[in-house]
Chains A and B, each alone.
Chain A
């Protein structure tokens, strides 16, 4: 894998490509092992990405030149309906 961090899409696309290659089974065992390793890494990476996001509800504000975020209590937020 490259040093640059992949996007989620790129990782998923590459993972699908690896599955396809392995299913074709034309590679040498050595290459297949490499692909396998990469595939496992990618799957882990994708899952990490999915969990990386934080459950947060915030409001964006600008004070002068500074952009600030302020947390909102979700329960309170929905109770305002």
Chain B
């Protein structure tokens, strides 16, 4: 069967992979919460869950580790469990395999932490909107920490490396133990009152929850939130989150990191300004070169001023001409001329046509005259008709002696009798 499927995991395979991942990722953890569902099995193992407002996690402490339970392990008490994370494969449940359990009643530090955190969060002390911006360039950095700790040396060293001529002003304070919270608050207020620093770094190096506790005290947290100067917090290591971190404008993971946030690398800034300046200069000189080029071209195009004047005059005349031509009066005049020209031509044509016709008519009239028999008669010819039949005689054979004929002349006529026919 196993060889036939490749598109899914078996439950065991999934579980063992999850187990592997969790154990890899959480080899050692410390978790605090309220104890619930506590029982001891017949074999003597301890089973319980830790819970807070949102979640629960199961815990197992084997019989052999019973002596690492400090305090009264019972439901409702607050406990911090140290151990590793594992998965109980038969049920696919993840749980904490405890190495030690620290129990205390109400008054426990972690509980205090959570209660205070919730309270200040509700007040809006940690709101993003309250956060001040850290200036881009801090020439004076204030440091609030212990003069004897490693933190202050880390900060000074990193600042000197990045931006050597930064002024560093330390407001010394103890950072743990009795009265530390009050001292830190006073040192912070003194620095803020001094008012000459661009940013304040407050913090200390790593330590236990108890060591870092002053930075979870309400007085310190409230002081940090109230300062006019921007604050970078740097308490303990990357994993430690104190309430001071939440109240600060920026949280740094370590004191060194705080110094990196506060101070730029000088060379980078100088380079950036230099680069900007180079661009300003090069853009402007490019611009000037372009303009110079244009001026040069224009100068090349310059000619004898008289030619220019002539050219200008020509252009002006042309423009004037075009202008007048385009005036309405001019247009009307032009149209009128066009019409009268047209009329003139038409009249001339008509006259020509007429005289031509007249000439034609005259010659036609002449032709008609020529054809009119009377015209012929006028020139001496005559017409002879048979008196009886009225027929025009055109041949001598059409008449005979003794016949009466009528002769028509150009004017008048006469009657006569044929005496003899001549062939």
Tell whether, in the assembled complex, residue A50 and residue B280 are in contact, meaning their CB atoms are under 8 Å apart. Answer: no
Does A73 lie at the interface of the complex (its beta carbon under 8 Å from any beta carbon of B)? no
Q: Is the interface of B mostly helix, strand, loop or mixed?
A: helix
B169's partner among A7, A52, A69 (CB-CB below 8 A) is A69
Given contacts A8-B136, A78-B153, is CB(A51)–CB(B191) below 8 Å?
A: no
Does B172 lie at the interface of the complex (its beta carbon under 8 Å from any beta carbon of A)? yes
Given contacts A8-B135, A9-B137, is CB(A55)–CB(B280) below 8 Å?
A: no
Alpha-carbon gap, A51 to B270, bound state (A): 10
Tell whether, in the assembled complex, residue B137 and residue A19 are in contact, meaning their CB atoms are under 8 Å apart. Answer: no
The smallest C-beta distance from A47 to any residue of chain B, in angstroms, reads 6
Tell whether, in the assembled complex, residue A43 and residue B165 are in contact, meaning their CB atoms are under 8 Å apart. Answer: no
Interface size on A, residues (CB 8 A): 42
Interface size on B, residues (CB 8 A): 43
Tell whether, in the assembled complex, residue B153 and residue A51 are in contact, meaning their CB atoms are under 8 Å apart. Answer: no
Q: Is the interface of A mostly helix, strand, loop or mixed?
A: helix
The smallest C-beta distance from A26 to any residue of chain B, in angstroms, reads 11
The residues of A that contact B142 with a CB separation of less than 8 Å are 60
Given contacts A29-B291, A40-B277, is CB(A12)–CB(B156) below 8 Å?
A: no
The smallest C-beta distance from B292 to any residue of chain A, in angstroms, reads 11
Tell whether, in the assembled complex, residue A60 and residue B191 are in contact, meaning their CB atoms are under 8 Å apart. Answer: yes
B170's partner among A15, A40, A53, A60 (CB-CB below 8 A) is A60
The residues of A that contact B139 with a CB separation of less than 8 Å are 49, 52-53
Residue of B nearest to A38 (CB): B280
Does B164 lie at the interface of the complex (its beta carbon under 8 Å from any beta carbon of A)? yes
Alpha-carbon gap, A29 to B288, bound state (A): 8
Given contacts A12-B136, A12-B273, is CB(A18)–CB(B280) below 8 Å?
A: yes
A-contacting residues, B112-152, CB 8 Å? 135-137, 139-140, 142, 147-148, 150
Does A2 lie at the interface of the complex (its beta carbon under 8 Å from any beta carbon of B)? no
Does A62 lie at the interface of the complex (its beta carbon under 8 Å from any beta carbon of B)? yes
Which residues of A line the B interface, CB within 8 A? Answer: 7-9, 12, 15-16, 18-19, 22-23, 25, 29, 32-33, 35-36, 39-40, 43, 46-47, 49-60, 62, 67, 69, 72, 74, 77-78, 80-81
Q: Pick 14 A–B contacts, CB within 8 A, sort by A.
A: A9-B136, A12-B136, A15-B276, A22-B279, A23-B283, A33-B284, A36-B281, A43-B280, A49-B139, A55-B164, A57-B168, A60-B169, A60-B190, A74-B160
Given contacts A15-B273, A23-B283, 5 further A-B contacts (CB under 8 A): A19-B283, A29-B287, A39-B276, A49-B139, A55-B167
